């Protein structure tokens, strides 16, 4: 949104609070203090959902869920977050067929939608799309993924999962496994974790290591990290094991994909070497990276991670609308 939102507020509306009227565009906009604030609100949301299911905090507010790429999970999560706060949603997921195919620019689409809605969640295939939308809009924009760019609410829910599962972040050893080259989630999570006193292990095939851009930033911030090709070297010390999907659609060479796909599969056997208190995470969907036999293990946190995502998105919606 542009600098002076108050000029566009409903007259009777006296909303306040941190992040009120702000956009959520990048993990780099958050301080440790911000994260604690967000997670405090998210915990309040968790308690509320568990006790009463839904409240009317955002009754009368409208979210435009603008998805230029389909993402059932993220769309559903934001939609549920808005509905559990009593608000309503305009889902727009067929943009490829409509105004956009007539050549309308993203800023024009956003300026139209903000005539109808109070907040816009945007998923777009192009880097920088969320920032472009925010520059045009008066209403808050929440980035739900801008191609190779960021997906900040995913990183926030990942970090919130760690907090809820293990009680704290400082002092933890976090191991990221799988496709670290193309995995947007591990890049953003690494950046957020760099605000804390953590030890990071990156375990991947040689073709899929963490990009230099990310490791350089970690070095600059003096974060302890090391790179590995095998999990067994680091698993016993790991507090958080973050597994990512090797995304087929990232490979031009399908034979390479097939050879790597199952190289890092987590089974009940794998977990025998892990700490008894550990959080096994995955952004989902999984396609075999974690055997379903693991689901019953109390350390398997990936479905709880989905629920934490709901609470974080509820917190963010309430905050940018001044109702947290």
Count of residues of this chain found to bind a second copy when the rule CB under 8 A is applied: 66
The strand pairing partners of 240, in sequence order, are 174, 279
Task: Return the range that interacts with a second copy (CB under 8 A); candidates 56-64, 152-160, 189-197, 269-277.
Answer: 56-64
Task: Return the range that interacts with a second copy (CB under 8 A); candidates 4-12, 165-173, 196-204, 220-228.
Answer: 4-12
Supply the minimum distance, in Å, between the C-beta of residue 253 and a second copy. 18
Task: Return the range that interacts with a second copy (CB under 8 A); candidates 18-26, 97-105, 202-210, 235-243.
Answer: 97-105
Could you say whether residue 300 binds a second copy (CB under 8 A)?
no
Which of 310, 315, 316, 320 is in the footprint of a second copy by CB under 8 A? 310
Decide: residue 221, CB within 10 A, 0-12 exposed, 13-18 middle, 19+ buried.
exposed
Q: Which residue blocks in the chain are alpha helix, DSSP H?
A: 32-52, 72-84, 106-113, 129-136, 152-166, 184-193, 212-220, 254-261, 268-271, 302-320
Of 256-285, which residues contact a second copy (CB under 8 A)? 284-285
Q: Is 142 helix (H, G, I), strand (E, B) or coil?
A: strand
Q: Which is nearer to a second copy, 53 or 167 (CB)?
A: 53
Q: Which is nearer to a second copy, 76 or 217 (CB)?
A: 76
Which of 24, 26, 30, 77 is in the footprint of a second copy by CB under 8 A? 77
How far CA 102 is from CA of 67, 95, 105, in Å, comes to 17, 10, 9
Task: Return the range that interacts with a second copy (CB under 8 A); candidates 148-156, 197-205, 241-249, 267-275.
Answer: 241-249
Separation between Cα atoms, residue 297 and residue 183, nearest integer Å:
25
Q: Which is nearer to a second copy, 55 or 265 (CB)?
A: 55
DSSP 86: T
DSSP readout, 88-106? EEEEE--GGGSGGGGT--H
Could you say whether residue 107 binds a second copy (CB under 8 A)?
yes
Decide: residue 217, CB within 10 A, 0-12 exposed, 13-18 middle, 19+ buried.
middle
Rg (CA), the chain: 20
DSSP 266: B
Chain positions contacting a second copy, by CB under 8 A: 10-13, 49-55, 59-62, 64, 70-73, 76-77, 79-80, 83-84, 86, 88, 90-95, 97-100, 102-105, 107-109, 111-113, 115-118, 245, 247-249, 284-287, 292, 303, 306-307, 309-310
């Amino acid at each position: 949104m542009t600098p002076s939102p108050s000029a566009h507020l409903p007259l009777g509306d006296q909303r306040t609070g941190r992040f009120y009227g702000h956009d959520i565009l990048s993990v780099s906009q958050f301080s440790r203090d911000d994260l604690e604030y967000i997670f405090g609100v998210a915990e309040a949301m968790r308690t509320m959902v568990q006790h009463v299911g839904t409240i009317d905090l955002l009754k009368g507010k409208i979210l435009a869920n603008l998805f230029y790429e389909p993402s059932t999970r993220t769309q559903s999560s934001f939609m549920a977050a808005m509905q559990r706060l009593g608000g309503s949603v305009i889902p727009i997921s067929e943009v490829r067929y409509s105004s956009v195919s007539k050549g309308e620019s993203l800023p024009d689409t956003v300026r139209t939608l903000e005539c109808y809605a109070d907040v816009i969640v945007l998923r777009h295939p192009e880097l920088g799309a969320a920032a472009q939308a925010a520059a045009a809009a008066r209403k808050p924009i929440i980035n739900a993924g801008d191609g190779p760019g960021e997906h900040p609410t995913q990183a926030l829910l990942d970090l919130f999962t760690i907090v809820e599962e293990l009680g704290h972040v400082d002092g933890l050893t976090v191991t990221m496994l799988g496709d670290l080259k193309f995995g947007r989630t591990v890049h953003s999570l690494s950046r957020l974790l760099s605000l804390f006193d953590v030890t990071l292990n990156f375990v991947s095939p040689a073709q899929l290591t963490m990009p230099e851009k990310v490791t350089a930033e970690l070095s600059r911030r003096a974060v302890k990290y090391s790179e590995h090709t095998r999990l067994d070297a680091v698993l016993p010390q790991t507090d958080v094991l973050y597994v990512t999907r090797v995304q087929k659609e990232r490979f031009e060479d399908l034979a390479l994909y097939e050879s790597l796909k199952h190289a890092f599969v987590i089974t009940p056997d794998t977990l025998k070497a892990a700490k008894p208190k550990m959080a096994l995470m995955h952004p989902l969907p999984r396609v075999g990276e974690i055997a379903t036999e693991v689901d019953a293990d109390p350390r398997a946190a990936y479905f709880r991670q989905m629920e934490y995502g709901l609470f974080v998105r509820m917190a963010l919606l309430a905050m940018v609308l001044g109702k947290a």
